[in-house]
């Protein structure tokens, strides 16, 4: 990878409509010249096979992010490096076009943000996610997105047309109902109100939307479930899902350190409940267990979630708009001009 000198600032006035205040740390951007962009998933815990991740690291700085250990493979740290040493994949749209042209590709759903948020602030100037969506539209390839960002509103035009011609759906990750608590745990992400507003706008444009309460942190935000699902239904969501807190590898010390610093009075209670739903441990890496808890406390969380889903009609999974009609266009997708030289 090569560091990019003087990368453009996504927080300038032309983009402030979409973003929160800039982070307090200095951001460094690196270019990743990977030769492929489609990642294949073989975990039975995840509901998709293929994903596209235009960025690595994330300015949302969520203390619980399970992707943090992946930054260590790049020679960076899983803590503040993950929040500030960010990696972009400038060739992502071209590589996706090439992958879709392969004879073996048949138009399976592609998930975006399988690792880090594809609409984090860098997207305001790099536009890699938008360009990848334009590739999907050209091929009529279905897409599913998970995001915390209001920036997704910018791409309503592409998403609504993609849903009309194939299928597109957006899950908004909103684990906290209270803005103050959210800011302590995910300081770089837009507040919950902003995410609900984005959800409403996409729903009004005909794009299927849902809520992902992830992660559920026992003893901290499980009490928010009913309020979150009620608000999501009011904003046009049709589906809801959840994931238990995961603390693999380096995520554990990062999360616990943030919790102890930001919520010293609550950290003991929260850690106790995490261990309670993980059989005395803080994490369980086994397939079939890592995304959910166990025991009486977790059973009460599960029942509350399922009751709220039924009460608010959030049991309607995304369905294809016009039906997926994958096709290979004649000409490769033309990548947009970037606002600066990337090498």
Low-confidence winner among 25-34, 66-75, 328-337 (lowest mean pLDDT)? 328-337
Residue 260 belongs to domain with CATH number: 3.80.30.30
Q: Is residue 154 included in any domain, yes or no?
A: yes
pLDDT above 90: residue 321: no
DSSP assigned state of 89 = -
**pLDDT for the residue numbered 334:** 57
The per-residue pLDDT of the chain, averaged, comes to 90
Q: 332 versus 55: which is more confidently predicted?
A: 55
Model confidence, pTM: 0.90
The whole-number average pLDDT for the span 13-19 is 76
The whole-number average pLDDT for the span 253-278 is 95
Name the residue among 82, 237, 262 with its Cα closest to residue 182: 262
Low-confidence winner among 46-60, 95-109, 132-146 (lowest mean pLDDT)? 46-60
Name the residue among 6, 113, 5 with its Cα closest to residue 54: 113
Contacts of residue 89, Cβ cutoff 8 Å, sequence gap at least 6: 31, 32, 34, 37, 53, 54, 55, 56, 95, 128
Q: 274 versus 41: which is more confidently predicted?
A: 274
Q: Is residue 319 included in any domain, yes or no?
A: no
Q: Is residue 233 included in any domain, yes or no?
A: yes
What the block records as the tokens of 342 is 């990337």
pLDDT above 50: residue 341: no
pLDDT in tens, 190-221: 999 999 999 999 999 999 999 999 999 999 99
The domain in which residue 79 lies consists of 8-15+27-312
Q: Is residue 324 included in any domain, yes or no?
A: no
- Maximum mean pLDDT: which of 259-263, 282-286, 328-332: 259-263
pLDDT above 80: residue 6: no
How far is the CA of 298 from the CAs of 46, 105, 245, 254, 305, in angstroms? 20, 40, 12, 23, 11
**pLDDT for the residue numbered 339:** 46
Are the C-beta atoms of 71 and 131 separated by less than 8 Å?
no
Q: Is residue 20 included in any domain, yes or no?
A: no
d(CA 167, CA 157): 14
Are the C-beta atoms of 262 and 181 separated by less than 8 Å?
no
Q: Is residue 134 included in any domain, yes or no?
A: yes
Q: Is residue 167 included in any domain, yes or no?
A: yes
Low-confidence winner among 148-152, 171-175, 285-289 (lowest mean pLDDT)? 285-289
d(CA 221, CA 227): 11
Q: How many domains does the chain have?
A: 1
Q: 248 versus 46: which is more confidently predicted?
A: 248
What the block records as the tokens of 224 is 């928010």
Using CB atoms within 10 Å of the CB of residue 288, give its burial: 0 to 12 exposed, 13 to 18 middle, 19+ buried.
exposed
Q: Is residue 151 included in any domain, yes or no?
A: yes
The whole-number average pLDDT for the span 279-284 is 86
């Amino acid at each position: 990878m090569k560091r990019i000198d003087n990368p453009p600032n996504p927080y300038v006035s032309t983009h402030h409509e979409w973003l929160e205040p800039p982070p307090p740390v200095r951001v460094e951007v690196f270019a990743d010249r990977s030769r492929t962009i489609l990642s294949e998933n073989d975990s039975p815990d995840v509901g998709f096979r293929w994903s596209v991740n235009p960025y690595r690291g994330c300015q949302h700085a969520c203390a619980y992010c399970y992707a943090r250990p992946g930054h260590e493979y790049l020679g960076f740290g899983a803590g503040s490096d993950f929040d500030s040493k960010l990696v972009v994949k400038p060739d992502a749209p071209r590589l996706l076009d090439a992958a879709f042209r392969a004879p073996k590709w048949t138009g399976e759903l592609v998930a975006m943000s399988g690792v880090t948020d594809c609409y984090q602030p860098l997207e305001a100037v790099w536009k890699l996610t938008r360009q990848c969506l334009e590739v999907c539209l050209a091929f009529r390839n279905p897409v599913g997105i998970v995001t915390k960002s209001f920036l997704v509103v910018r791409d309503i035009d592409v998403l609504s047309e993609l849903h009309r011609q194939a299928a597109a759906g957006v899950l908004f990750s909103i684990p906290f109902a209270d803005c103050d608590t959210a800011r302590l745990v995910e300081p770089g992400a837009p507040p919950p109100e902003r995410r609900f507003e984005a959800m409403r706008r996409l729903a009004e444009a005909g794009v299927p939307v849902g809520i992902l309460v992830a992660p559920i942190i026992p003893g901290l935000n499980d009490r928010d479930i009913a309020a979150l699902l009620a608000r999501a239904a009011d904003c046009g969501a049709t589906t809801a899902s959840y994931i238990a807190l995961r603390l693999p590898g380096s995520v554990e010390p990062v999360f616990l350190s943030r919790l102890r610093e930001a919520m010293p009075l609550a950290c003991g209670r929260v850690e106790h409940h995490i261990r309670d739903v993980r059989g005395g441990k803080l994490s369980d890496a086994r397939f079939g267990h890592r995304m959910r808890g166990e025991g009486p406390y977790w059973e009460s969380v599960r029942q509350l979630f399922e009751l709220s889903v039924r009460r608010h009609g959030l049991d309607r999974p995304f369905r294809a708009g016009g039906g997926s009609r994958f096709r290979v266009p004649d000409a490769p997708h033309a990548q947009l001009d970037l606002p600066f030289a990337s090498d």
